[in-house]
Amino acid sequence: MQKTDNWYNGLSVGLLILIMVTGHLGGSLTHGSDYISSAFKSDSGTTYKAHAPIIHVEEARAYADVIQPLFQKDCYSCHGSRRQKGKLRMDDSTWIMKGGKDGPVLIPFKSAESELMKRIVLPTDDEHHMPKGKPSLKESQIALINWWISQGADFHKKVREFEQPPKIRIYLLALESSSNHVDSLVPSSPVEEADIKNINALKDKGVEVIPVAQNSHYLLADFINSFSIQDKDLALLVPLKKQLVWLKLGNTKIGDSSLSFIGQCRELTQLQLDRTRISDKGLPSLQSLHKLQSLNLVGTAVTAQGVLSLKNLKLLKHLYLYQTGVEVKDWPMLASNFPKTQLDSGGYTVSFIAADTVVVKVAK
């Protein structure tokens, strides 16, 4: 009897070991050889570069600033430097284009034929759904990846170099809004709803006018598709001066006379005038914008002397001045006159901290 009990005990232990071994092998085949230990590790063996906030989405890099963060969050855990399921690696452009054991996952200009898109739109209960074991990507995230692939999946171009259908434009602006801390850029006090006739007058000129946040009457006006806009047309902004807080006029042909209308929109917290025809002559019109927190003058003819006319804008946090008439020798002077403002001279930020000596780094 004792021998029989020992035999059964031995058989039970053997079966348990076999179950554990086969279970582990099955899990390894399905989830990878480190499927158990990976739960106790970070998503990747490499510390990936943190992505800077998107301050001005048109100047952002389409892949590095918009698409790669999505891949980093949901793809690198299985397809990063530490682990490559299906021999697919997604943490580098070369590896992405190489594909995995089943071939390419991305075909430029052909999003519908790209395996990547096919997998991320599958139901979560489908065995081929990606990302594996995670919730499906949001509609906006899927749309942005689809847009990037359909536009050629370029790894170097900026957002402004791609065509932007209206829906994609809204998703891109939402990224910028999130990065710019909506709460601080939208007034806390309520405002009445704008007259729809005034909004439509701008829309008739090709201007996008949308709320800056859900359930808010504060507005953003974006002139990205207003190719024939003239200085006098900026008068259409004035009836919306109570609601207008973000204004995007980059890459339009407006000049100094348009700034007199903008100066009447005193609720503005964010203003983009990059690559327009403005100069020092018009900048004094912006002195009334005491709530302004971000001002983009990139690619304009303004000089340091013109910028000085705005030194009394005490809430100004970000001032973008690269590719302007501001010279290297001007940076220390500007830094001392804008002590609470981050001055961007291109590719980095110049910050000033009160001290006896001003040290300013300028890109060469």
**Dihedral of the alpha carbons of 360, 343, 184, 171, in degrees to the nearest 10:** -130
Write out the two tokens for 305.
């002397």
Q: What is the pTM of this model?
A: 0.60
DSSP structural state of residue 282: T
- Please state, in angstroms and rounded to a whole number, the distance separating the CA atoms of residues 139 and 167: 11
3-state secondary structure of 125: coil
E runs forming strands in 234-303: 244-248, 270-272, 294-296
Domains of the chain are 57-161 (no CATH), 181-350 (3.80.10.10)
- Please state, in angstroms and rounded to a whole number, the distance separating the CA atoms of residues 359 and 349: 13
- Start-end of H helices in the chain: 2-31, 68-74, 76-79, 93-98, 115-120, 139-150, 166-179, 182-185, 196-203, 259-262, 304-307, 331-337
* pLDDT per residue rounded down to tens, the chain (364 residues): 555 555 556 556 566 565 655 554 454 444 444 444 443 444 444 444 545 567 678 888 899 989 998 888 888 888 887 888 888 888 888 888 988 888 898 999 999 999 999 888 888 778 888 887 777 788 888 999 999 999 999 999 999 899 888 778 778 877 765 554 444 567 778 899 999 999 999 999 999 898 887 678 999 999 987 878 999 999 999 999 999 999 999 989 999 999 999 999 999 999 999 999 999 999 999 999 999 999 999 999 999 999 999 999 999 998 999 899 999 999 999 999 999 998 988 754 443 333 323 333 333 3
The number of beta carbons lying within 10 Å of the beta carbon of residue 123 is 8
